[in-house]
Structure 1
Amino acid sequence: MKAVRFFQSIQAKLVIIYVLLILIAMQLIGVYFYRTLENYFKTDFLDSRDKQVTLLSDLIFEPYFLGNQQESKTEDGKRTYTDWSDVNNLFAISNAEIQIIDANGIVISTSVPSHQEIVGHKNPQTEVSRALQGIKNQRIFKDTDGYRKLIIAKPVGNGVRVLGAVYFIASMEEMYNTLGSIFRILLTGTIIALGLTAVLGVMLSNTITRPIKEITKLATAVADGDFDQQVMVRGKDEIGQLGHTFNFMMNRLKEALSLNEEEKDKLASILTNMNDGVIAADEFGRVIVLNRRAKQILQVEEETTIGKEIAAVLGMPGEAIQEYVSSVNNMTVLEIHLPDDEEQLVVRVTFTPIHRRGEGVSGTIAVLQDVTEQEKLEQARREFVANVSHELRTPLTTIKSYLEALDDGAMDDHQLATRFLGVTRSETERMIRLVTDLLHLSRLDSKQAIIAKESTVVSEMLEEVADRFSFQLQQRRIRIVIRIEQGISRIMLDRDKIDQVLDNLVSNAIKYTADEGTIHILARPVDKDLLQISVQDTGIGIPKKDLERIFERFYRVDKARSRNMGGTGLGLSIAREIIKAHGGAISLESEFGQGTKVVFTLPVQAEESEAI
């Protein structure tokens, strides 16, 4: 596997290319050198043999044919032409054979002793026939034994007359053996050069590929998320410039990723801590992001919501969502019924398209705003205005009608006029109480009411409340029971405002308790840090459906009866605001037909408490 990877690497390609270039160069040089050397040796061989044949023909054989006789040695020591021993010795050295042929093609003599049997016979070679015709010719051929040989046939004669021929056969194997040795030397040199070239190519290519491998390794580490990588630059060449560029790119990449992470963290923090819910969907309408507030509003889990259709999550038709996204009016109000709560949420949904550069709309963002409380406040505001208007209109209408009656002549009747003025005075006092209560609530709402705390004895405060209502209690024969448990005797509070709370609670208890009923007032410490005071009666009680709204302004369980009793519907609201201003809490428990119990707590500091 590693070998396959090596041959697929740049280093292997460089080495192979380098070796191939050297191989081609060596081959070209070797072929050129071999061919040149072969031509040189062949030409030299042919020239030398041709000169030898010419020498023999001109100096030895031609005089023999011209003399047409065989001479022996004379008395004066001259050599005859029938003695061929010197000639044989000359050509034996050259590994050649020479034959002397007469005009009829008959072999007269041969220089090879083993071929003496051909003497006296005709030489049938084509070259001999052509030589006897006066044509000098030569031929190189491969003999049956596989050796290359040279044939030279040269005519011998006088003028145009051919007297005979010299037939020359020489072996060229020695020359070709020499060329083979030279070729083997060239081949060995080429192999050694290729080996050295391969080694040097590996070494040289490694100087190029090693930095590339390091950069590739670092780039792989970067792809895996490790951005603290730097290339060691070892030179100023192109590879070094690549290393510098890689390091510069890494620094810029880290900066960009850092900024991206910061922006991502900011966006995630903003999305997480937004008071509005955010849902993002892709171009196919599938939810890809939703923040914590959206999960709280819709009461869904992220795991089950991601990938679902946004229309299914919001409970809206997909066509309607597309209309809101593409239109100017991109806002709607949904009523979401919670599975674990009987109350429903009112949610304002704003749709915004996501635009991607060059691709148009690629998704949708839905911003969810829980406007349940706003709707409740708006409804309460409308009811408040209506109630105030109604509460003021009724006495004003009464006053107007009685004044008109007085103006129409009732004033002349003293008794009737006195009764009409009494009613007018009563309605005026009722409006004054209403306005006073509204001003009081306004101050408490705007935190302008001053809470002037003073040390107060709890028992005295409760006894005085009972004394203030003693006449009404005696008239209705209602018994009031005050009980104070051990633990706290004094407390810091605004006496006037707490008296107002107690008066309101006791007044309500008297109003809605039948004659000869009982009212219990209990004061007891809670966890040593709170004083709890409860007012419980045995009256008609409050229906369960009205308990949640009992502290709302102008809310009355029995509107006609409450108004006839002189109530404004603001008493419990004022009591709640006063208790909140003291840092306490107030609650109400009631069951229809079995009485009502109102409990409120006031904080007590350690230095303010005193054991009884």
Structure 2
Amino acid sequence: MKWSSFFRTIQAKLIIIYVLLILVAMQLIGVYFVSAMKNSLTDNFTQDLQARAELLSVLAERDLGGSGEGQSEEDSVASLRERVSNLFNINGAEIQVMDASGKVLLTSLSSHADYVGRKNTQTVVSRALQGIRDNEEYMIDEDNIRKKVVAKPVVSGGKVVGAVYIAASMAELYDTMKRINNIFISGIFIALALTAILGVILAHTITQPIKELTRRATAVAEGNFNQNMPVLGSDEIGQLSKAFNYMTSRLRDALSQNEEEKEKLASILINMSDGVIATDESGRVILGNRRASAMLGVHEAQMSGRHISGLLGMDPAEMDELVSGSAASTILQIDPPGGSEEPVVIRVTFTPIHRREFGIAGSIAVLQDVTEQEELEASRREFVANVSHELRTPLTTIKSYTEALNDGALEEPQLAHRFVDVIQNETERMIRLVTDLLHLSRLDSKEARLRIRSSDVMEMLEEVADRFSFQMKQKKIRRKVFVEHGISHISIDRDQIDQVLDNLVSNALKYTPEGGKIDIEARLQDEHTLSISVQDDGIGIPKKDLDRIFERFYRVDKARSRNMGGTGLGLSIAQEIIKAHGGHIELQSELGQGTRVTFTLPLRSEGGDGS
């Protein structure tokens, strides 16, 4: 473990770097030096053999070219042997002289005496007998000894009369190279040892100031800011020491400023009109101002240490969602101590406190008294419930049929009678709608009762389509009413479901261009549920607005909706009515391709009112 920690220090790394640099440098120099030395020795060795072979070929010319007249072949061979033994005695080398046919006339090795009289068929010999002078090659004999082979032609009177062959051992050359390598390796080890010693000394001069700086930095981290590092030079260590001293002085200033800001923040928190509660990562209250304690009816000293969910009377799961940031705020109703006053409505907004590398380290809860705002909102909802924009649909129908009568339909008794009946029906339905506005408000507060009666599904859908037939003809919109086989009657509050259907068809009519189509369909979703849908191929709704489309007063395009008579309440009213019937409503739309609104109704047993 001790050695493992040592090798992770800068000192060890510097020593290793020094040693590796020297090792790499010595290796590169050694490879180049040994390679150059080997090439030089080999070239010198080859040149010496070439020179000897050239000299021997000149001397052999006298004996093989017939210069010595009256000299027999045996005398010529004897003369050559004497010259070879006296002038060309090379350790570990074999010298052969051949005639023009390649037959060996003599050899310098007695062990190869049986070669005399035989032909030497080696490539270098064949090339020499052809008159080629540069003939050399490497070979390894049966004793695994590397040899250099050289062959030269013997030329007399422009004619090749023989050849000289020399095969010299290179063992001494390689022994010399081996000794040079051993000397070089020894030098590397000596250089590495000296480098390691010098590395330890040099590394110590660098790491010692760093160790001192580390010790002082640890003291600063523990809160002792009165630390100054001596500056011993202007090098990088000296600049680091200056930076450390500057850092400690800035930290002292920052700490002083932080204390001042903390006092200011405490003063602001005490005098804020909103309540503020700070918690740690476990949800325990660590700070709460005077206003928060007044809102919650708890003394400031009693808030500290309590879990915020218990302090606010919230469900811990809901609290976790708020603190984690998945929800922004919530509305709470706080009963004042003693119960003598009206409940206070408080909006609590949570902001998580993020600490780098640790995630959420706590949260800040801001408490705002929104009692008055909530009362105003309730009044607005009550007003809108009493003045519903749904009154516009029957009024528009009455106006359209009245204009038709004025335009000449009054002169046609059958058509006029039908128009009058429609106007009368729409007037009565409008009266019912005005009466039902108060009922819808009670429905919203879960106090209203539904007037359930059996209704014919096909008749209900056809009547809806007839109520808008005039507007559809004006815009040349095709309609289709479809009721799945097996569906006849359903027990519902007919007026309220008519209100839902009128709203959906009216919306489809508004946002469907001329020449479009509107489909009204009723299907069985399962054996206990009826599904009714209104689908158009109009302009559609952007995807970003789909989640909020059922919110009250929410408009996709406020200017466009207002021009077309919309108030943003139609779908929210329809949603409340469907919920009161025990069903649900959903909307699917794609921009530019149309909208489909579907609501479900439970198939009740016929007869009687339902709540």
TM-score, length-scaled by structure 2: 0.46
TM-score, length-scaled by structure 1: 0.46
Tell me which structure has the larger Cα radius of gyration: 1
